[in-house]
Chain A
Amino acid sequence: MAQILVVDDDAALRNMLALLLEGEGHDVALARDRHCAVAQLHQHAFDVVFLDMGMPPHEHTLEEGLQVLDWLQQHPRRLKTIVLTGQNRSESAYAAIRHGAFDYLSKPVEEGRLLHALERALLFLDNEQRLRNEAGEEKLTLTLPVGEGVKPVRNRAEEQLLRQVLEESAYKIHETARRLNLNRENVYYLLKKYGIKRPQKDG
């Protein structure tokens, strides 16, 4: 059973998607816009996010969906994002993949293809988990410019790995240092280097 977040501004559609996914035995949470989605992502751990790109107040551009994808890159989670959108395919698929989406589906899509995409996302997620548990390896996906040397590549990989471990350890420096096999001073140095700040707790 997977934890799934459906982000779509169309109430009828997100409910029908929820019904389908619940019927498959998954737990489903709903979000109607970017703010609700980020709030849900803050509070709960999800395996898969179905993300619409056009939502209020920018219903007809990619802006809101891309902001959710960017937020996920800044706050890495062990989840896969499947974009499900009615926006112009060539433009939105390119942007979504560039911003870290795992898969892309164009509305309207048949139930079978939708469930197949979900199955694939969960397969990747499970095997990445296995990779961590059995081989102690982390799979990173980076989008980088080619031709600027290897230093930016190293930095981006270092930053992403650090962000991921920080998120998972709830920003506990000691735990982060232990998991990355670094000393605490190194972690503080990297936090400063990449301008990473501990998130403010609500209330």
Chain B
Amino acid sequence: MELTLLLPLILVVAGVTLIAAAYYLHMQAKEVEYLIQQLVHLDEDARNDPIEFIKSTLAWMKRAGADKLHVRLNWFGEVLQLGDTVSGRSADQEEKGCEVFSLGEGELQATVLLCPKSSLRGEREALFQVVKQLWLRLLAAQLNGRVAQLHLSQQQMQRYEMFYKHDLKNLAQFLTLLNSQIDRCDDSECVLKLVNRLRGVLPSLEHRAQRILRFLTQKNIDTAEQQTFALSERIQLVARMVDVQVAIEGDATLKAYEALFEQGLQGVLENFIHHGERNEPVRIWIEDQGVGVVMRLRDASMQQPLTAEQRVRMFEPFWTTSESGLGLGLYLARQNFARACHGRLDAVNMPDGGWAFELVCPKG
């Protein structure tokens, strides 16, 4: 009698338990499916921008079961830390229960420290592994895509071509007019007028020509002799070429490959044309600190501090906030300074709350 009553009860309890377990597994599978969909969408939205991808997927990885996620990006010569802070240990040092992954190569590398929640067990751990693998593959694809984009983008190449074509057309127009002016001049007064006018415009013309050459060729200037020159005088010269007003405090002499140094200066000053306050002069401070020369440049538009990401992205090739900018100016400027004087160009936050470009050229 007791058995006949107990058996159905056991069967009912077992049935309910099975249904509950099946429902639980179904919900877990739905959650994973939803997470995967989100990651795939965010991957598409990021469009080969690994920084955006990491930032936008952090919360979803936490939801999937990550306790700690830290990414150290080697980003075109800068290091950018994203995600959770790791106390006292660097991202490539494995912590207990955590895994470290290295992705990318060359100028773009990511070291990922990923720690699952300690409470993850059984099926939840297995599902986390699925999401983790997907996320790592998407991040690797983002890094590779970014590199491919930089090297192969047809659109950027067209833009690149447009830049030097614009300068070439202006130069051609100038030469056409100059040629006809020379033909016209048949007295000394006319010649004098022409020469005086040319004297005033030659620096800007030289700048245009150099810019075209910079686009078309990469001259091997490293084999040239290093020169010693006064920094203030050289800045004035380049500023005149690019038509930027400067106010300089201090001075120092520097030994460097001067052509490369001038190209670096051009790149930084041109950045002020596109992003700065054109009515205000660019203020430049030069300090000889014995072991090296420090130069800081800023204008009235640089009153707010930069985030770590802004500081890094500024020097990323083809990254620009200006419609007319190619996004190569600061990237090339940094490379030119590095080759000219083993110098380092950075964007640094200042104690007064603003920021400045800082160039440090070591001596010797």
Seen from chain A, the residues whose Cβ lies within 8 Å of a Cβ on chain B are 10-13, 15-20, 23, 32-33, 35, 54, 56-61, 63, 84, 86-87, 107-111, 114
Contact = CB atoms under 8 A, between A and B. Distances in A.
A33 B278 contact: yes
B122 interface: no
Interface string B172-185: 11111110110010
Given A11-B201, A20-B180, A32-B243, 16 more contacts: A10-B204, A12-B201, A13-B174, A16-B197, A16-B201, A19-B193, A20-B177, A54-B324, A56-B273, A56-B278, A57-B275, A57-B324, A60-B323, A61-B324, A84-B173, A108-B176
A86 B174 CA distance: 12
B208 interface: yes
A11 B243 contact: yes
Contacts of A108: 169, 172-173, 175-176
B199 to A, nearest CB: 10
Nearest to A14: B201
A32 B243 CA distance: 10
A111 B201 contact: no
For chain B, give the interface size range: 35 or more
B273 A10 contact: no
B163 A60 contact: yes
Nearest to B179: A111
B173 A109 contact: yes
30 contacts: A10-B170, A11-B243, A12-B174, A12-B202, A12-B208, A16-B178, A16-B201, A17-B177, A19-B177, A19-B181, A19-B193, A20-B177, A20-B180, A20-B181, A23-B181, A33-B278, A35-B278, A54-B166, A54-B324, A56-B274, A56-B324, A57-B275, A57-B322, A58-B324, A60-B324, A84-B173, A86-B170, A109-B176, A110-B176, A111-B177
A110 B162 CA distance: 22
Contacts of A18: 197
Nearest to A11: B204
B323 A107 contact: no
B274 A60 contact: no
Nearest to A59: B324
Q: Closest 7 CB pairs between A and B?
A: A86-B169, A11-B204, A108-B172, A111-B180, A12-B201, A108-B173, A12-B205
B273 A57 contact: yes
B194 interface: yes
